[in-house]
């Protein structure tokens, strides 16, 4: 497995936008990232993620466009992981797959609450 690259972003910088194709997921090494969706009245912050959390995995799992925008709330450093790297990592670290599933369920429940 190739070593995933690290990328740095400034406060306020967009990592990716809702609707864009997704080629990477991100693991936060430092900083805070807001996950935002566009609504009829502007935008809504769904969550703020911090060190050790990950995002962007949905686009890799189902090969769909980004479902939200990721914006840095503070200066941020992330580890980028593409589809092949994710597959290889999951094969050698099955506990990470369990963590991803739990995270996806938690986010789905949160989204259901926002809708309801």
Domains with residue ranges and CATH for the chain: 6-115 (2.60.120.10)
Cα separation of 17 and 35, whole Å? 10
Residue 31 DSSP code: S
Cα separation of 47 and 83, whole Å? 24
pLDDT tens-digit profile of 8-62?
Answer: 999 999 999 999 999 999 999 999 999 999 888 889 898 899 999 999 998 888 8
Contact 71, 13 (CB under 8 A): yes
Residue with tokens 């690259």: 5
pTM, 2 dp: 0.87
Residue 116: predicted pLDDT: 66
Cα separation of 39 and 98, whole Å? 31
**Is pLDDT larger for residue 108 or for residue 54?**
54
Structure-block tokens of residue 27: 């693991």
């Amino acid at each position: 497995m190739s070593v995933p690259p690290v990328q740095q972003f400034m406060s306020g910088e967009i990592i990716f936008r809702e609707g864009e194709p997704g080629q990477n997921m991100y693991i936060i090494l430092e900083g805070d990232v807001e996950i935002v969706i566009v609504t009829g009245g502007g935008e809504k912050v769904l969550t703020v993620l911090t060190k050790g959390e990950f995002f962007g995995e949905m686009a890799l799992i189902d090969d769909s466009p980004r479902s939200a925008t990721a914006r840095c709330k503070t200066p941020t450093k992330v580890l980028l992981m593409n589809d092949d790297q994710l597959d290889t990592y999951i094969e050698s670290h099955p506990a990470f797959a369990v963590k991803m599933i739990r995270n996806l369920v938690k986010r789905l429940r949160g989204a259901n609450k926002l809708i309801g």
